[in-house]
Structure 1
Amino acid sequence: MAGILTRLIQTVFPAPGVAVRRWRQPLLLGTALVAGVLLGAGRFQPSRQNPEGTLRGYLRFREVLSRVDEEYVDSVDVEGLSDFAIARMLERLDPHSTFIPAREREQASAFLQSDYDGIGVEFNLFRDTVTVIAPLGGGPAEQAGLQPGDRILAVNNQPVSGRHITMNQMFAKLRGPAGSVVQLQLLRRPGTKPLQLSIPRNRIPNTSVEAAYLLDERTGYIKISRFASGTYDEFKQALGDLTREGMTQLVLDLRGNPGGYLDRATKLTDEFIAGTRKLVYTDGKGDQFDTQTYSRITGEFEEGALVLLIDEGSASAAEVVAGALQDHDRALLVGRRTFGKGLVQQPIVLNDGSELRLTIARYYTPSGRCIQKSYAEGAAAYSQELRNRQRQGEFQHADSIHVDDALRYRTDHGRTVYGGGGITPDVFVARDQASLSPYYARLQSQNLVREYALQFYQNHKAELEALRFEQFQASFQISAAQLAELADRAEEAGIAPDAAALSQCAPLLSNQLKAHIARSAYGKPAYYMVLNTRDAELQAALQAVADGRAMIAQNLSDH
């Protein structure tokens, strides 16, 4: 079939220099003929934009794949080759158009779902050992007695410890239909007999509002990790609870938020912006994917000081929120320049159940700023862009942020803002220098800080349970001896000792260790309560609230 189709396409679209009298026949008739053959052979739909080009490309790829399958010297996985070719093709378009094979589609979508079927456990990999961080409150794992620090040796009698298993593979093993049972073999303490647990799967909430509490009597704090299907409802609940507790000013933390569903992000933004105002618009090829989104409801927090925390990890829908609040002078943005991901992907489910997430438009803020940073130099350069920011000093100095004067825009009250790559904050806060050291990076990459904290919790569980969180927060401190013990474990793991680097990192490491211990002993909100005590961006936000700068519309106009 491939050979017949190739000869047919060569007849209709001959190579340059080939004299074919029939070339003068109507091109439309030839295109229709080829399309008809292809539709009968494989349901191929030629592009209306460039039908001749897509037909030629389709036939070329089909013939090559067929030849490889039939004639290559070794047996090959032709479906895997096809997936690889599609992925490489999309790389030539932009960094965010992707292809997801059918076997990975459900897992790829789970990140943005409000719930899933599983046992409800947070885990990590420490030296090829799957270790429980915490069972989710009220979930099957907690009810079955799973504890922080437990090591999972086997799932359904299949060993997982020491097997170079990936996080994705573990997700696949632990998740499954509600009502089905997972058999776990656990090691709670070295030298003890492994435990056997049978845990029934159930529907597990997948929350995206990580923490919501009062920083003081009037100032609320809400941390949102992503814009998932349930984010808006979770946020509304948190906002209402804090308002009833007396909140009149808010710090909204979108640091490290990679985005998600745009409509959840714009609905959240609408809670802060009064009247009918543009929140975001998209612009694509022609007008098929052009949209404009406006505020339309009376929100619950349209007045009152609002500070938004952002950093280089804030992307996509998180940047849409930041851009709208900044353009309308509704919030003070504190932190560092955002990632710069402003391309809109449309999910397209293919016949075999795989999914194409194709870029169809660009996001623009109300003032007209394009959020997307340049990807003209290719995928490799794009993936290194954040590292280049660090090398150029942007994480440490506001004047190192590159802006393009040709992309100058104005907010509602006349302040100058710039497009062309992310959202620049109103108040710059340098990244903790200790977090940029190679020694600290290696401790984090090997999960040694979290591992040490888990083992400390296991060894002092009774003492910690005897303390209320408020007592722990006020009195517990990481000692120099404990930091030295962490350094010894790092040396055992192959990280060369560096006394100067450890001293530089000590305040940061101490706070992180305490926060991870609090996570195991008191839950996720406690983790953020501890971590935030020495959070430079949060302290800058509180200072801005205290001195009135957070009322941005009245205080930051520069016209």
Structure 2
Amino acid sequence: MRQPLLLAVALACGVLLGANPFRPSSQNPDATSRGYLKFKEILSYVDRDYVDTVDAEQLSDYAISRMLERLDPHSVYIPAQEEQKVSAFLQNDFDGVGVEFNLFRDTATVIAPLNGGPAEQAGLQPGDRILAVNGTRVTGTHVTMDQMFGLLRGPRGSNVQLQVLRRHQSRPMTVSVTRSRIPNSSVEVAYMVDNQTGYIKITRFASGTYDDFKQALGDLKRQGLSRLVLDLRGNPGGYLDRATKLADEFISGTRKLVYTDGKGDQYDTQTYSRVLGEFEEGPLVVLVDEGSASAAEVVAGALQDHDRALIVGRRTFGKGLVQQPITLADGSELRLTIARYYTPSGRSIQKSYRNGLAAYEKDLTERARHGEYFHADSIHFADSLRFRTDHGRTVYGGGGIMPDLFVPRDTMAASSYFTRLQGRNMLREFALNFYQDHKTELEGMRFEQFKSTFQISDTQLQSLAARAANEGIATNATCLRRCSPLLRNQLKAYIARSAYGKTAYFQVLHDRDPEMQQALHAVGDGVTLLAQGLTMK
């Protein structure tokens, strides 16, 4: 269920430049004019004479989108009504109520209010079920996540009335929340794994990513950080300049970080490291996977080419095209591919799209079918795509960045039983109910004690399986037994999220995260690093 969303975000996000400073022009104005007049003529006939009434603007939007598909998978047209929502992904804040929620049994349920945000100040608690928003019923109506976001977000300073049902209360209550500015940091979490090793996860390269990263890194350095795990898994990209500024924090001297090559020389650029970075020395591991795309690949490629970091995980998405956002007169936006980008060694990591958009969208599925997520030797690169890092190691272009240390997916996470439990939100709902039933005990326990002693029992797993069976997910004793270590860890992490916050969630989750465990082994083991032919400085 994750791949289509992942691909959609990667297509819409990509590597973006800033505002377009150039006016429209054409290298072949006569052909452009003829094409425009032909399209206008046909659209006029359709609007006037077609047997049924049509929406000419909607037809025009459709035609534009199909035209761009002939160019490449990442040139996209964003209608005016969708532009704000798409652009918000790369902003560092939004106006809303500040609550994390999920949909359980067709009801929006509070996972956690943002610390210090308006929802928390209004008294919302984990487990509260939202029945109505400003009088509009949202339970039992098959409301979507997007629709809930639309109802909860709104102008700063405006009020929203929530009808909420709290556990063990027979009547719903009305909570008034005043919308405010809600931080939307792209640094999802940053914490010290031990007294030397820091961990930072970046979810996208948004407008404030560089500043957020600098603050997180500074905080960890004050806690004793001398080695770092940078997590770019699932990061679909964003602004190119934020990615290069972040890479500059790790690379000393004046060395090339990325270069772009477009039509003529208008969009040809070369970006070099130029500042004295905050972490130019010290062991560095970067986590990547098939969801790491575009700007995330720029960072990973630069660090790999300069032998500055060990790249751990699985082959990245493979997006090496740069888009220019162009705002159109009606408020819609064209994101047009204007260049290809290359890593310092000269690699283009854009995967092929010669077989069309449909085949391109199936690439991640095809990787799974070929066994790539589980076996590194299933991946083959042409000799013509061979390049060398600063220290002479072989790396390849085309189709993403191959990590230095391959880590297969957890086979238990790929089982149909576990996937169905996750897809139906059974694990998160079970954990939230457990938290509510044991809230007093958990509040009296320090997180360190919870992490070291708390365990999900066999009885609790059987209870989860029984509840899932009632929801139509048949119990498979063999699968349940195989998945039990992963289920226990995931449930414990969700409980920690409700009881102790987001950082606690990741700390528990990382105990059974194979990529994270390999990263910690690599970043702390000089022998492993030397075996990869790296000098970590």
Mapped partners of 2:152, 2:234: distance in 1:
26
- State the match for 2:27 in structure 1: 49
Is residue 115 of structure 1 aligned with residue 93 of structure 2?
yes
> Is the 8 Å Cα contact of residues 549 and 556 (structure 1) preserved in structure 2?
no
Judging changes above 3 Å, is the alpha-carbon distance between structure 1 residues 67 and 371 closer, same or farther for their aligned structure 2 residues?
same
Alignment map for 1:463-482 (pairs within 5 Å): 463-482=441-460
| Contiguous gaps of at least 5 residues in structure 2 | 1-22
Alpha-carbon separation, structure 2, partners of 1:345 and 1:467? 50
CA contact (8 A) 1:133 1:454 kept: yes
- The more displaced of 539-548 and 261-270 is 539-548
Q: Tell me the CA shift for residue 479 of structure 1.
A: 1.4
Select which of 202, 208, 214 maps to 2:180: 202
> Is 2:343 aligned against 1:365?
yes
Give the 3-state SS of the residue equivalent to 1:117 in structure 2: strand
2:205 aligned residue (207, 227, 230): 227
Are residue 141 (structure 1) and residue 104 (structure 2) matched? no
Aligned match of 1:242? 220
Aligned equivalents of 1:163, 1:79: Cα separation in 2 = 30
**Cα distance in 1 for residues equivalent to 2:247 and 2:476:** 46
Of 364, 368, 372, the residue aligned with 1:394 is 372
Report the residue type matching 2:436 in the other structure. Answer: Q
- Tell me which amino acid in the other structure corresponds to 2:491: L
- CA–CA distance in structure 2, aligned partners of residues 46 and 263 of structure 1: 24
Equivalent position to 2:303, from 308, 315, 325: 325
The alpha carbon displacement at 1:223 in A equals: 1.1
* Counterpart check, 1:494 vs 2:494: no
* Alignment partner of 1:450 out of 410, 413, 428: 428
Aligned match of 2:229: 251
Runs of 4+ with deviation above 4 angstroms? 549-554
| Equivalence map 1:293-312=2 (5 Å) | 293-312=271-290
Find the residue that maps to 1:276 and give its secondary structure. Answer: coil
Q: How does 1:257-336 map to 2 (within 5 A)?
A: 257-336=235-314
Note if 1:178 corresponds to 2:150: no
2: CA distance, partners of 1:547 / 1:553: 10
1:125 equivalent to 2:125? Answer no
User: Greater shift after overlay, 115-124 or 270-279?
Assistant: 115-124
Helix, strand or coil for the counterpart of 1:433? coil
What secondary structure does 2:189 align onto?
strand
Q: Is residue 80 of structure 2 the alignment partner of residue 99 of structure 1?
A: no
Local SS of the residue matching 1:281 = strand
Q: Name which structure has the greater RCO, CA cutoff 8 Å, separation 6+.
A: 2
CA drift at 1:58: 1.6
CA spacing shift, 1:190–1:53, aligned 2, 3 Å:
farther
Aligned partner (choices 509, 525, 531) of residue 503 of structure 2: 525
What amino acid does structure 1 have at the position aligned with 2:162?
L
Determine if the alignment matches structure 1 residue 440 to structure 2 residue 414: no
Contact map agreement 1:254 1:309 (CA 8 A) in 2: yes
CA deviation profile, 1:5-44 (whole Å, cap 9, x unmatched): xxxxxxxxxxxxxxxxxxxxxxxxxxxxxxxxxxxxxxxx
Change (3 A) 1:513 1:151: same
Question: Partner of 2:385 in structure 1?
Answer: 407
Equivalents in 2 of 1:65, 1:490: separation in Å?
A: 52
Rate the CA distance shift 1:58–1:494 in 2: closer, same or farther, 3 A. Answer: farther
Question: Which of the numbers 450, 460, 468 marks the counterpart of 2:438?
Answer: 460
CA–CA distance in 2 between the matches of 1:434 and 1:210? 25
Hey, what's the Cα distance between the residues in 1 that align with 2:143 and 2:400?
35
Which residue pairs with 2:6 in the alignment?
Answer: none
* Structure 1 Cα separation of the partners of residues 386 and 273 of structure 2: 24
Question: Once structures 1 and 2 are overlaid, which stretch shifts more, 223-232 or 419-428?
Answer: 223-232
Distance of aligned partners of 1:76 and 1:138 in 2 relative to their CA distance in 1, 3 Å threshold: same
TM-score (norm 2): 0.92
1:59, distance to aligned residue in structure 2 (A): 2.0
Alignment of 1:70-109 (within 5 A): 70-109=48-87
**Contact 2:404-2:532 within 8 A present in 1 as well:** no
Cα drift, residue 52 of structure 1 = 2.7
Q: C-alpha offsets along residues 236-289 of structure 1, whole Å, 9 cap, x if unaligned?
A: 111111111111111111111111111111111111100000001111122111
Residue by residue over 1:191-234, the C-alpha shift from the partner in whole angstroms, topping out at 9 and shown as x without a partner, is: 62112111001111101111211111111111111111111111
Q: Distance in 1 between matches of 2:24 and 2:281?
A: 53
Instruction: State the 1:407 CA deviation.
Output: 0.4
Q: 1:552 to 1:302 in 2, by over 3 A?
A: farther
* SS of aligned partner of 1:436: coil
Distance 2:492 2:154 in 1: 34
From 321, 327, 333, the counterpart of 1:355: 333
1: CA distance, partners of 2:115 / 2:205: 22
- Look up the SS of the partner of 1:223 in the other structure: strand
Query: Which of 334, 337, 343 pairs up with 2:321?
Result: 343
Amino acid at match of 1:476: F
* Separation (CA, whole Å) in 2 of partners of 1:46 and 1:333: 41
Moved more, 427-436 or 83-92: 83-92
Contact kept in structure 2, 1:331 and 1:550, CA below 8 Å: no
Report if the CA contact (8 A) 2:238-2:295 is conserved: yes
Q: 8 Å contact 1:549–1:555 — kept in the other structure?
A: no
Distance apart, 1:165 and its partner CA: 2.1
Alpha carbons 1:305, 1:550 under 8 Å: kept? no
**Structure 2: distance between partners of 1:552 and 1:87:** 49
Distance 1:247 1:405 in 2: 40
Partners in 2 of 1:159 and 1:111 — Cα distance? Answer: 27
Query: Do the aligned partners of residues 549 and 48 (structure 1) sit closer, same or farther apart at CA in structure 2, a change above 3 Å counting?
Result: farther
- The AA in structure 2 aligned to 1:352 is D
Q: SS at 1:376's partner residue?
A: coil
In structure 1, the gaps of 5 or more residues are 1-44
Most deviating of 346-355 and 494-503: 494-503
Distance 2:68 2:131 in 1: 39
3-state SS in 1 of match to 2:349: coil
Query: Counterparts in 2 of 1:369-384, with a 5 A limit?
Result: 369-384=347-362
Note the aligned Cα RMSD (angstroms).
Answer: 1.7
Amino acid at match of 2:199: Y
C-alpha distance in structure 1 between counterparts of 2:168 and 2:462, whole Å: 22
Cα distance in 2 for residues equivalent to 1:140 and 1:232: 26
Cross-structure match for 2:4: none
Q: Which amino acid aligns with 1:140?
A: P
Where does 1:27-38 land on structure 2 (aligned, <5 Å)? none
Point out the structure with max Rg over C-alpha: 1
Residues 126-168 of structure 1: per-residue CA shift (max 9 Å, x gap): 2322122211111101111111222211111111122222222
Matched position secondary structure for 1:519 = helix
Tell me the distance in 2 between the aligned counterparts of 1:546 and 1:455: 38
| Structure-2 change in CA distance of 1:491 and 1:86 (3 Å) | farther
SS at match of 2:42: helix
CA contact under 8 A between 2:288 and 2:311: conserved in structure 1?
yes
Q: CA deviation at 1:63?
A: 2.3
1:106 partner amino acid? Q
